[in-house]
Amino acid sequence: IRDEESGYNKNLFCIPKHYEEDLERVFIPHGLILDRTERLARDIMQDMGSHHIVALCVLKGGYKFFADLLDRIKALNQNGDKSVPITVDFVKIKSYC
């Protein structure tokens, strides 16, 4: 997103009531995030070929995106031409510094 990007008017979206006063604009619509997650899953499946996938989630902040990405990968794995094994693990990091 460029610095000069103004985003989208929040009135174009369904905003939960408890966020209405805190939110000024929407920079990345949810549909775009879903589309990019799907694209990333496809890229991972293509890049990994028939290799075993080891998925590692950093807990707390990353779990929702991780779950969405794994759902897309699993769907491609079940409905695609090939199926690759996936191992899932989680780590908790005390500090990012």
The full set of domains in the chain, from first to last, is 8-92 (3.40.50.2020)
pLDDT tens digits, one per residue of 4-27:
778 888 888 888 899 889 988 888
pLDDT at 43 over 90: yes
List all residues 6 or more positions away from 70 whose beta carbon is below 8 Å from its beta carbon: 55, 86, 88
Count Cα atoms within 13 angstroms, Cβ side, for 75. 11
Closest of 54, 53, 52, 41 to residue 80, by C-alpha: 41
* Residue 60, CA distances (Å) to 53, 66, 71, 92, 94 in order: 22, 11, 18, 8, 10
Confidence of residue 97 (pLDDT cuts 50, 70, 90): low
The pLDDT value recorded for residue 29 is: 84
Report helix, strand or coil for 34: helix
pTM of the complete model beyond 0.95 = no
In this structure, which amino acid lies at residue 47? D
Q: Do 5 and 27 touch, CB atoms closer than 8 A?
A: yes
The pLDDT value recorded for residue 42 is: 93
pLDDT tens digits, one per residue of 82-96:
788 999 999 888 776
What are the backbone angles phi and psi of residue 61, rounded to the nearest 5°?
-70, -30
The pLDDT value recorded for residue 6 is: 82
The pLDDT value recorded for residue 89 is: 93
